[in-house]
């Protein structure tokens, strides 16, 4: 084994999903790997299916002095040459010995990465920010996330989710958290007659959002799907992806929508605004503007030629910048630089 991935979070979310996606893609490319994670049945099953050895650890708070020692033993057992820490909690428990790389998907507190050999940012803006914090420019690189649409995946069955076959179908992906602005989508839905909204995700605002849907009179047109492991099927079933996040360093949902041929309307928060060329491969609206979100969504639903143009240009972006092959090649180059691949 050469590379150890560390993930210290227990829940489900975009970063956790991409963790499994990247580790699985690297396994397909023949990279020797192991994974140290907090117990999570879904991730353990997926990683085992990819042929990646998994160790589960506590990854506790500041008084957890045992996890780092146990992870170090796991690393020795699997002949690890490079440890890749996903987010702060994992970085805190990454043992010395192997080359240590931090993978940052946001503007994290860099104190957790002291002594690390290099940091990898999934956007150019985050990479520039890291250098601005005083990190050596030669020890920071940008490797984006990839997106892939399994060709054999069928669309989710609308009937199974109480959705009319002819209804305009909107898809909103993301944790039920204030940053994701699902409340803005619900407000916009009041101005999009006959449309049905699927919200896929879990989080602390579930009860609040359901109450809001009822108060707005749209509860009968909203389906709260919870955490889903069939994201590709959801993307393939929808007509428009709605992504109004107030705060989003990258916007992986945008890339996934492009990969699945789904037109996207997004709020112009940091990540989506950097990704999307407005009117070319997606539509951008101001943050927290439900009226603008509704107007842009209605425009997409009414204009099939616009949808086709956005979908084609988005697909071209994925092929050129965010394909699995291109991103895996960049990770392999990094590992090779440290003698780990």
User: Are residues 196 and 303 both part of a single domain?
Assistant: yes
Q: Is residue 75 part of a domain?
A: yes
Q: Is residue 151 part of a domain?
A: no
| Maximum alpha-carbon separation in the chain | 59
Q: How confident is the model at residue 151 (pLDDT cuts 50, 70, 90)?
A: confident
Give dist(CA 41, CA 192) in Å, integer: 39
User: Are residues 136 and 191 both part of a single domain?
Assistant: no
pLDDT at 254: 95
User: Are residues 140 and 118 both part of a single domain?
Assistant: yes
Domain enclosing residue 9, as ranges: 3-146+323-337
Q: Is residue 153 part of a domain?
A: no
User: Are residues 187 and 127 both part of a single domain?
Assistant: no
pTM: 0.86
User: Are residues 83 and 209 both part of a single domain?
Assistant: no
User: Are residues 243 and 266 both part of a single domain?
Assistant: yes
Q: Which distant-in-sequence residues (6+ apart) come within 8 Å of 329 by Cβ?
A: none
pLDDT at 14: 85
User: Are residues 81 and 207 both part of a single domain?
Assistant: no
User: Are residues 278 and 229 both part of a single domain?
Assistant: yes
Q: Is residue 237 part of a domain?
A: yes
User: Are residues 178 and 315 both part of a single domain?
Assistant: yes
| pLDDT above 70 for 1 | no
Q: Is residue 194 part of a domain?
A: yes
Q: Is residue 154 part of a domain?
A: no
User: Are residues 174 and 249 both part of a single domain?
Assistant: yes
Number of domain units in the chain: 2
Contact present, 80 and 2 (Cβ < 8 Å): yes
Contact present, 141 and 150 (Cβ < 8 Å): no
Q: How confident is the model at residue 150 (pLDDT cuts 50, 70, 90)?
A: confident
Q: What average pLDDT does this structure show over 113-133?
A: 96
What are the beta bridge partners of residue 282? 278
Mean pLDDT check: name the lowest of 127-131, 236-240, 271-275, 276-280: 271-275
The tens digit of pLDDT for each residue in 152-189 reads: 899 999 999 999 999 999 999 999 999 999 999 999 99
User: Are residues 62 and 77 both part of a single domain?
Assistant: yes
Residue 141 maps to which CATH number? 3.40.50.2000
């Amino acid at each position: 084994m050469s590379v150890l991935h560390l993930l210290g979070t227990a829940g489900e979310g975009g970063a956790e999903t991409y963790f499994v996606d990247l580790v699985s893609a690297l396994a397909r490319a023949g990279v020797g790997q192991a994974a140290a994670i907090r117990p999570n049945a879904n991730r353990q099953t997926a990683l085992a299916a990819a042929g990646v050895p998994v160790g589960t650890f506590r990854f506790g708070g500041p008084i957890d002095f045992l996890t780092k020692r146990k992870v170090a033993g796991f690393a020795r057992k699997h002949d690890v040459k490079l440890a890749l820490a996903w987010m702060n909690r994992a970085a805190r428990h990454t043992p010395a010995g192997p080359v240590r790389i931090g993978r940052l998907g946001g503007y994290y507190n860099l104190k957790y990465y002291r002594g690390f050999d290099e940091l990898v940012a999934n956007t150019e803006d985050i990479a520039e920010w890291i250098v601005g914090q005083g990190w050596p420019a030669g020890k920071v690189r940008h490797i984006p996330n990839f997106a892939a649409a399994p060709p054999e995946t069928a669309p989710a069955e609308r009937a199974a989710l109480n959705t009319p076959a002819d209804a305009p179908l909107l898809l909103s992906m993301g944790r039920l958290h204030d940053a994701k602005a699902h409340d803005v989508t619900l407000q916009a839905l009041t101005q999009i007659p006959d449309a049905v909204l699927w919200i896929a995700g879990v989080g602390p605002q579930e009860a609040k959002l359901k109450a809001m849907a009822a108060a707005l009179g749209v509860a009968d047109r909203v389906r709260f799907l919870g955490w889903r492991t069939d994201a590709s099927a959801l993307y393939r079933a929808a007509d428009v992806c709605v992504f109004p996040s107030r705060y989003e360093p990258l916007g992986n949902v945008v890339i996934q929508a492009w990969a699945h041929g789904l037109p996207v309307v997004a709020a112009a928060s940091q990540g989506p605004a950097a990704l999307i060329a407005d009117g070319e491969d997606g539509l951008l609206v101001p943050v927290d503007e439900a009226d603008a979100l509704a107007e842009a969504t209605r425009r997409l639903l009414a204009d099939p030629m616009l949808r086709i143009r956005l979908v084609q240009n988005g697909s071209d972006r994925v092929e050129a910048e965010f394909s699995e092959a291109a991103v895996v090649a960049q990770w392999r180059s990094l590992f090779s630089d440290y003698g780990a691949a």
